[in-house]
């Protein structure tokens, strides 16, 4: 587990007194490797000498401001996945601040947050705790990687890699990320997540290879394999006396397959698993290509008793349209809103609105990307009863079963919060 003492921190601030204050407070919190820069140009030169894990950066600076600094980092000779964590510091709020957040995320920064000026010790401590939670979670299982890294992997992963991995059942692994009751802290379900144990790149997350899989027409095959793994896990959970739903995610393209509902129903009948324990999640990164076929597939799945979840709700251009047209049973609040809603009024309004929509439509609502106990407490008070994120790490099947079994046996919550 990494601590603040392990982080290389860079403070980019043009005001000398504020720069010194922030450095002193971070040092009091336990940081050792602290560097500073007066503007974006100075910071870029510093990073060329040695990379940083975390950058606190002012938005408005002379010579090179925050936006220009972000652009300069994307031009450095490093992969996007190696970009540091970034925390904006600013007196601005509202649309301007939100646009800087979105720009940094689009550039490939793996974690972006904000601190309002004047910065306090409490704010700095909370921000660093969030960064460490993400870094330590990523050290267990690689998290979603920004779309900009796809170019890199497309250049080095070819069709032979994909075909080999599909044929070799050991390369694609299924991990389980628990769903947590925000009131009882007990495990209430899980997502079945695919990870590619690539011989060269180790554990790759779906965002790094699913587009390539879909291009080869192998998305349905991988979904079936993951679904069947989830069925076996449900059988083992039943033996432990722990009946809980598992969600298996797929793209709209995969779910448009005409035979998918019949296949899934045949499999659950063979394994004698109730369909209510299987949830099919749709990842809405791209709009449906065949909306009519997708609607037919989802309707048939619901008729057979499967749950349907819409992932990252609020992040895509067509999520509201999908929700109004398709028979979903669950909404997942996009992790961006969840991570920011305690600090940004706009994100809080979005979270409240999504919870209200779910309540009015009688849908289950689950918050993604929860990082700490305070977020859990407030979300529960707002009416969101379930969540997942850094509060409960993804696990391989054996660890997941033993963890859930022990929690059930001793009636203990999985989250110590």
Within a domain: 96: yes
On whether both 133 and 264 belong to a single domain, the answer is: no
Q: Considering 140, 160, 176, which residue would you say is the last residue of a domain?
A: 140
On whether both 231 and 370 belong to a single domain, the answer is: yes
Average pLDDT, the chain: 84
Is the pLDDT assigned to residue 212 strictly greater than 80? no
Q: 227-249 pLDDT, tens per residue? A: 999 999 999 999 988 889 999 99
C-alpha closest to that of 398 among 236, 162, 269: 236
On whether both 175 and 260 belong to a single domain, the answer is: yes
**CA 60-62-67 angle, 5° bins:** 50
> 281 pairs with which residues across the strands?
249, 309
Within a domain: 125: yes
On whether both 90 and 154 belong to a single domain, the answer is: no
On whether both 76 and 160 belong to a single domain, the answer is: no
Q: Considering 102, 121, 140, which residue would you say is the last residue of a domain?
A: 140
On whether both 171 and 294 belong to a single domain, the answer is: yes
Q: Is 78 exposed, middle or buried (0-12, 13-18, 19+ CB in 10 A)?
A: middle
Among 74-78, 98-102, 276-280, the range scoring the smallest mean pLDDT is 74-78
On whether both 38 and 69 belong to a single domain, the answer is: yes
Domain residues for the domain of 30 are 4-140
On whether both 165 and 269 belong to a single domain, the answer is: yes
Give the 3-state DSSP-derived string for 237-275, with helices as H, strands as E and coil as C: HHHCCCCCCEEEEEEHHHHCCCCHHHHHHHHHHHHCCCH
Q: 305-332 pLDDT, tens per residue? A: 999 999 888 766 557 888 888 889 999 9
Alpha-helical regions (H) of 92-241: 94-107, 121-140, 150-156, 159-167, 210-215, 219-239
On whether both 242 and 363 belong to a single domain, the answer is: yes
On whether both 127 and 174 belong to a single domain, the answer is: no
Within a domain: 416: no
Q: Considering 122, 140, 158, which residue would you say is the last residue of a domain?
A: 140
Domains contained in the chain, number: 2
Within a domain: 415: no
On whether both 296 and 353 belong to a single domain, the answer is: yes
Dist. CA 73–CA 236, nearest whole Å: 48
On whether both 283 and 155 belong to a single domain, the answer is: yes
Q: What is the pLDDT of residue 149?
A: 42
Cα 298–chain centre separation: 24
Dist. CA 83–CA 294, nearest whole Å: 37
């Amino acid at each position: 587990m990494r601590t603040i003492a392990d982080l290389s921190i860079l403070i980019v601030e043009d005001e000398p007194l504020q720069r010194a204050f922030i450095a002193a407070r971070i040092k009091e919190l336990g940081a050792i490797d602290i560097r500073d820069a007066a503007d974006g140009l100075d910071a870029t030169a510093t990073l060329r000498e040695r990379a940083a894990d975390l950058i606190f950066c002012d938005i408005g600076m002379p010579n090179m401001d925050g936006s220009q600094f972000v652009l300069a980092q994307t031009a450095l000779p490093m992969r996007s996945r190696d970009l540091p964590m970034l925390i904006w510091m600013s007196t601005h709020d509202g649309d301007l601040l939100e646009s800087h957040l979105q720009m940094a995320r689009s550039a490939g920064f793996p974690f972006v947050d904000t601190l309002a000026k004047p910065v306090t010790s409490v704010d700095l401590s909370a921000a660093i705790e969030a960064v460490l939670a993400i870094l330590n979670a990523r050290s267990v299982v690689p998290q979603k990687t920004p779309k900009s890294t796809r170019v890199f992997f497309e250049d080095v992963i070819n069709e032979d890699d994909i075909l080999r991995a599909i044929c070799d059942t050991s390369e694609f692994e299924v991990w389980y990320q628990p769903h947590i009751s925000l009131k009882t802290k007990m495990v209430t379900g899980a997502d079945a997540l695919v990870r590619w144990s690539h011989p060269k790149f180790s554990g790759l997350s779906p965002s790094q290879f699913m587009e390539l899989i879909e291009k080869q027409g192998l998305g349905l095959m991988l979904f079936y394999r993951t679904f069947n793994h989830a069925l076996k896990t449900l059988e083992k959970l039943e033996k432990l006396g722990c009946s809980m739903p598992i969600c298996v995610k797929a793209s709209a393209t995969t779910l448009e397959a005409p035979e998918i509902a019949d296949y899934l129903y045949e499999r659950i009948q063979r394994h004698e698993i109730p369909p209510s324990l299987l949830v099919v999640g749709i990842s809405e990164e791209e709009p449906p290509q065949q909306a009519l076929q997708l609607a037919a597939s989802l309707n048939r799945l619901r008729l057979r008793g499967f749950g349907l979840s819409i992932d990252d709700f609020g992040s895509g251009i067509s999520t509201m349209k999908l929700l109004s047209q398709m028979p979903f049973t669950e909404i997942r609040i996009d992790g961006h809103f969840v991570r920011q809603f305690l600090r940004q009024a706009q994100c809080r309004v979005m979270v409240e609105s999504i919870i209200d929509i779910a309540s009015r439509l009688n849908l289950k609502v689950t918050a993604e990307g929860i990082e700490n106990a305070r977020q859990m407490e407030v979300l529960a008070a707002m009416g969101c009863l379930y969540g997942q994120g850094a509060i409960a790490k993804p696990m391989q099947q054996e660890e997941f079963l033993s963890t859930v079994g022990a929690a059930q046996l001793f009636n203990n919550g999985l989250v110590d919060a």
